[in-house]
């Protein structure tokens, strides 16, 4: 057969080149059609490391579900220390989303332009594509299980404590706390299940207490001590004093920390444990929740003065008290007056307080000083002012024209308190002025019949209210 003239003129080499130019695209088109039109999943695709190459979606789904049976029937084991909790996949409604993974596998290489599809498909010849299986579970049910585990694991942290008993100071070591964060462990369990690890060590956080043994191990001595006397027969007042002692007992102040009596006691309410007892209000003794806590405050104040800690806030009563010298008292009023002091030393201190019998004892515990010294408080009255006039209250149980004394007169007092420090030879080495207080005079008060009261008004002896 004779070749056309134009082919003869091309020559053999050019002819072969022309044939290649024509045949290669045809070959590529045929191969592309063969590759792109395959009905199964393309080669080199795996689901959760299981080959699904060449499988149609239904067959791939059946294969994946079959291989996941053991996984879905396995118990999830949650561990912490020596404790284990077995959780059935049904308990948390665990299921795999195999359908989605199969559709992702089938869709691979079937999206985009022909060129992009061919690049994706031919790329599988060199590097397989492993599609993970996603899963779902009921997070609320898992949280309920974790909440129960949390309650079993939970340990409240406890700071180291200073104890004073039988004239001996001892230290009780701290206890670390342990708590399970539910949201944190939900994420942990989810990630472990995704890795098909069904034996899971729970993440439990250790909580360090504020104060450790090393912080307070050097507290060994009584730095100062004060005792006041109260009437234990006044049951409610005695109960309030004992409760106040309990609330402040064992309080540790690290260097620089400030103690607040109001914060330590909390609200003065029946719900907070305080009972109705006598409190001083405008020179009157009236009933109110928490009567007696000012004696605990005063006793603490004097112990703090003797320990030479820094007073931050202190107010005196409206009149002198029977259980301490004038000027050596401290009062508090919720949301109004507080007693505060600061640990201005370089070491921790601790309050030790107790009410036993009729005695209220407060001690400041700390590090034994390098040198021995003694501290004394001294009250010096500078001036006394007698009250002017008298006060009357109506009480119709009192016979007409009779007067019953219900409150004794008290002179006003200006008093200065000094703190003297002595060395081991009892020689005065420091004389400090601590406070300069004035207590207003208190008028005597009489109970009178209403008729008597009107007569006193008519005579101009008292002014009508």
Nearest Cα neighbor of 50 from 32, 36, 65 is: 65
Whole-angstrom distance, CA of residue 129 vs CA of residue 127 = 7
* Of the candidate ranges 16-25, 170-179, 434-443, the one whose mean pLDDT is the lowest: 16-25
| 154-to-136, 176, 201, 317, 375 alpha-carbon distances in Å | 28, 11, 16, 46, 47
Do residues 229 and 307 both lie within one domain?
yes
Query: 63 or 295, which is more confident?
Result: 295
Asked if the model's pLDDT at residue 2 lies above 70, the reply is: no
Whole-angstrom distance, CA of residue 440 vs CA of residue 444 = 13
Question: Average pLDDT, whole number, for the chain?
Answer: 88
User: Where in the sequence is the domain holding 120, given as residue range(s)?
Assistant: 5-73+99-133
Asked if the model's pLDDT at residue 46 lies above 80, the reply is: yes
pLDDT level of residue 237 (50, 70, 90 thresholds): very high
| Per-residue pLDDT, 28 | 47
Asked if the model's pLDDT at residue 243 lies above 50, the reply is: yes
Q: Report the 10 Å Cβ neighbour count for 230.
A: 22
126 located within any domain: yes
| Per-residue pLDDT, 64 | 83
Asked if the model's pLDDT at residue 369 lies above 90, the reply is: no
Whole-angstrom distance, CA of residue 173 vs CA of residue 193 = 40
Instruction: List, for residues 62-105, the tens digit of each pLDDT value.
Output: 888 888 877 778 899 999 999 999 999 999 998 888 888 888 88
Mean pLDDT of 240-256: 97
Q: Do 304 and 261 meet the contact criterion of CB atoms below 8 Å apart?
A: no
Do residues 45 and 114 both lie within one domain?
yes
Asked if the model's pLDDT at residue 316 lies above 50, the reply is: yes
Do residues 340 and 396 both lie within one domain?
no
Do residues 427 and 355 both lie within one domain?
no
Whole-angstrom distance, CA of residue 116 vs CA of residue 131 = 19
Mean pLDDT of 3-10: 54
Query: 22 or 104, which is more confident?
Result: 104
Q: Do 101 and 68 meet the contact criterion of CB atoms below 8 Å apart?
A: no
Instruction: List, for residues 124-146, the tens digit of each pLDDT value.
Output: 888 898 888 888 899 999 999 99
Whole-angstrom distance, CA of residue 234 vs CA of residue 230 = 9
Do residues 245 and 362 both lie within one domain?
yes
238 located within any domain: yes
186 located within any domain: no
Do residues 361 and 390 both lie within one domain?
no
Asked if the model's pLDDT at residue 390 lies above 80, the reply is: yes
Residue 464: CATH number of its domain: 2.20.230
Domain boundary among 335, 370, 405: 370
Do residues 117 and 231 both lie within one domain?
no
Q: What tokens does 205 get?
A: 């956080």
Do residues 256 and 378 both lie within one domain?
no
Do residues 361 and 312 both lie within one domain?
yes
Nearest Cα neighbor of 108 from 98, 118, 93 is: 118
* Of the candidate ranges 35-49, 83-97, 293-307, 381-395, the one whose mean pLDDT is the lowest: 35-49
| Per-residue pLDDT, 12 | 58
* Of the candidate ranges 177-186, 349-358, 400-409, the one whose mean pLDDT is the lowest: 400-409
* Of the candidate ranges 85-89, 218-222, 459-463, the one whose mean pLDDT is the lowest: 459-463
Domain count, the chain: 3
Q: Report the 10 Å Cβ neighbour count for 287.
A: 12
163 located within any domain: no
Of all residues in the chain, what percent carry a pLDDT higher than 70?
89
Whole-angstrom distance, CA of residue 158 vs CA of residue 404 = 57
Whole-angstrom distance, CA of residue 225 vs CA of residue 442 = 32
* Of the candidate ranges 40-49, 408-417, 456-465, the one whose mean pLDDT is the lowest: 456-465
Whole-angstrom distance, CA of residue 318 vs CA of residue 410 = 11
Asked if the model's pLDDT at residue 1 lies above 50, the reply is: no
Whole-angstrom distance, CA of residue 139 vs CA of residue 244 = 47
235 located within any domain: yes
241 located within any domain: yes
380 located within any domain: yes
Query: 461 or 93, which is more confident?
Result: 93
Q: What tokens does 30 get?
A: 């045929």
Mean pLDDT of 423-442: 93
Do residues 386 and 334 both lie within one domain?
no
Domain boundary among 337, 370, 403: 370
Q: Do 355 and 414 meet the contact criterion of CB atoms below 8 Å apart?
A: no
In degrees, rounded to 5, the angle at the alpha carbon of residue 215 between the alpha carbons of residues 214 and 216 is: 95
pLDDT level of residue 116 (50, 70, 90 thresholds): confident
Three-state DSSP class for residue 156: coil
Instruction: List, for residues 221-234, the tens digit of each pLDDT value.
Output: 999 999 999 999 99
pLDDT level of residue 49 (50, 70, 90 thresholds): confident
Asked if the model's pLDDT at residue 121 lies above 90, the reply is: no
Domain boundary among 370, 395, 412: 370
Q: What tokens does 440 get?
A: 């207003």
Q: Which residues pair with 412 in a beta bridge?
A: 385
193 located within any domain: no
Whole-angstrom distance, CA of residue 311 vs CA of residue 338 = 11
Do residues 394 and 357 both lie within one domain?
no
Do residues 332 and 424 both lie within one domain?
no
| Per-residue pLDDT, 382 | 96
Strands (E), 230-358: 252-253, 258-260, 276-281, 284-289, 310-313, 340-342, 349-356
Whole-angstrom distance, CA of residue 379 vs CA of residue 361 = 21
* Of the candidate ranges 45-59, 111-125, 307-321, the one whose mean pLDDT is the lowest: 111-125
| Per-residue pLDDT, 111 | 83
């Amino acid at each position: 057969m004779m070749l056309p003239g134009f082919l003869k003129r091309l020559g053999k080499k050019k002819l072969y080149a022309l044939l290649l130019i024509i045949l290669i695209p045809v070959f590529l088109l045929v191969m592309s059609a063969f590759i792109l039109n395959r009905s199964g999943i393309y080669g080199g695709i795996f689901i959760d490391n299981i080959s699904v190459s060449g499988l149609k979606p239904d067959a791939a789904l059946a294969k994946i579900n079959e291989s996941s049976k053991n996984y879905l029937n396995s118990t999830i084991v949650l561990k912490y220390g020596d404790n284990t909790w077995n959780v059935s996949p049904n308990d948390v409604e665990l299921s795999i989303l195999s359908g989605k993974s199969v559709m992702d596998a089938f869709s691979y290489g079937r999206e985009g332009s022909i060129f992009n599809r061919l690049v994706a498909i031919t790329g599988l010849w060199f590097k397989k594509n492993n599609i993970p299986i996603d899963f779902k579970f009921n997070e609320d049910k898992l949280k309920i299980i974790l909440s129960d585990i949390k309650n079993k694991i939970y340990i409240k942290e406890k700071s180291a404590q200073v104890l004073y008993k039988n004239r001996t100071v001892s230290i009780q070591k701290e206890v670390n706390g342990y708590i399970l964060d539910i949201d944190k462990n939900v994420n942990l369990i989810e990630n472990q299940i995704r890795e098909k690890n069904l034996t899971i060590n729970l993440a439990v956080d250790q909580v360090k207490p504020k104060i450790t043994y090393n912080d307070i191990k050097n507290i060994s001595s009584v730095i100062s001590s004060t005792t006041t006397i109260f009437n234990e027969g006044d049951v409610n007042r005695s109960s309030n004093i004992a409760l106040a002692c309990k609330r402040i007992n064992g309080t540790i102040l690290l260097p620089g920390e400030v103690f607040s009596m109001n914060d330590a006691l909390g609200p003065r309410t029946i719900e907070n444990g305080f009972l109705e007892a006598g409190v001083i209000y405008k020179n009157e003794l009236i009933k109110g929740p928490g009567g007696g806590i000012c004696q605990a405050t005063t006793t603490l104040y004097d112990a703090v003065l003797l320990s030479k800690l820094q007073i931050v806030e202190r107010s005196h009563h409206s009149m002198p008290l029977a259980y301490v010298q004038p000027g050596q008292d401290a009062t508090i009023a919720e949301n109004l007056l507080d007693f505060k002091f600061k640990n201005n030393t370089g070491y921790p201190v601790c309050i030790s307080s107790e009410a036993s019998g009729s005695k209220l004892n407060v001690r400041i515990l700390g590090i034994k000083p390098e040198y021995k010294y003694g501290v004394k408080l001294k009250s010096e009255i500078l001036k006394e002012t007698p009250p002017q006039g008298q006060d009357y209250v109506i009480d119709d149980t009192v016979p007409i024209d009779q007067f019953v004394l219900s409150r004794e007169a008290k002179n006003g007092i200006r008093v200065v308190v000094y703190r003297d420090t002595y060395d081991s030879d009892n020689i005065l080495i420091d004389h400090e002025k601590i406070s300069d207080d004035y207590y207003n005079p208190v008028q005597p008060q009489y109970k009178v019949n209403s008729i008597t009261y009107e007569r006193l008004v008519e005579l101009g002896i008292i002014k009508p209210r």
